[in-house]
Structures are given as C-alpha cells and as structure tokens.
Amino acid sequence: MTNKTYIPLLIESVKATVDLQQHRFAGFDGGYCTAGIKALGVTDVSTPKGEYAPVAALGILLIEASGTIAVGDAVASDAEGRAVKAVDSAVINGYAVDAGTTGQEIRIIRGI
C-alpha cells in the first residue's frame, strides 16, 4: 500500500494478451509495452491473460521502476513494462515525479 498521490484521469480497458502485473506500462496490444515503444498507459491492477485490464492513460500514475530514476527524468519502458530513464531516441512515456531504483514504486506524470 502506498500513501503517494495517485490521480488517474483517463482509464482505458484493454484485453490482456499475457498475465499483466500491476503498475507496469501496457502496450496497445494488451501485452507489456516493450523497450522503445509508446505505451497505452499503466496497468491499474494485476490482470490475468484473457481478462480486460484497466489501464491509466493520463494523470499522476504509480509504476515500478527499473534502474535509477531521478525526479524530472523522462521515462520510457523496459522490455518488461517497467519505467526506465529515457535515453537518446527512446519513446517518452512520462516524467518522474519521484526518484527511485529497481523494484521501487514511483509516480510518473503522463499527458503534459
């Protein structure tokens, strides 16, 4: 459980093509967003394959970090849908509101 501000402004549903874990970038295809790809949004809850997953597309969202992320960093997706610091030509999927390292839950903002 977290006490961090969480303000999803737009929730979209997508049929999960794999078992999705909570607080990961989801792709438009219902799987995890992979490295270098634009995300539909962030999974709101863990969802089994074949069920519809609520995906937060805009707002201040909670996501699992991978690597070291500083406040204000542009973030992209890694191969498992976790937030990583965006480098070079990576597709930006949000901006970090919190600092964090691998496995920590941080907030990002999408839609600015």
pTM (2 decimals)? 0.93
Q: Which of 65, 43, 71 is nearest to 56 (CA)?
A: 43
DSSP E strands in 2-112: the ranges are 7-15, 25-26, 41-43, 52-64, 74-77, 83-85, 94-96, 105-110
| pLDDT tens digits in sequence order for the chain, 112 residues long | 467 889 999 999 999 999 999 999 999 999 999 998 999 999 999 999 999 999 999 999 999 999 999 999 999 999 999 999 999 878 999 999 999 999 999 999 999 8
Contact (CB, 8 A) for 83 and 91: no
The third-level CATH classification (topology) of the domain covering 7-110 is: Virus Head Decoration Protein; Chain: A, (2.40.300)
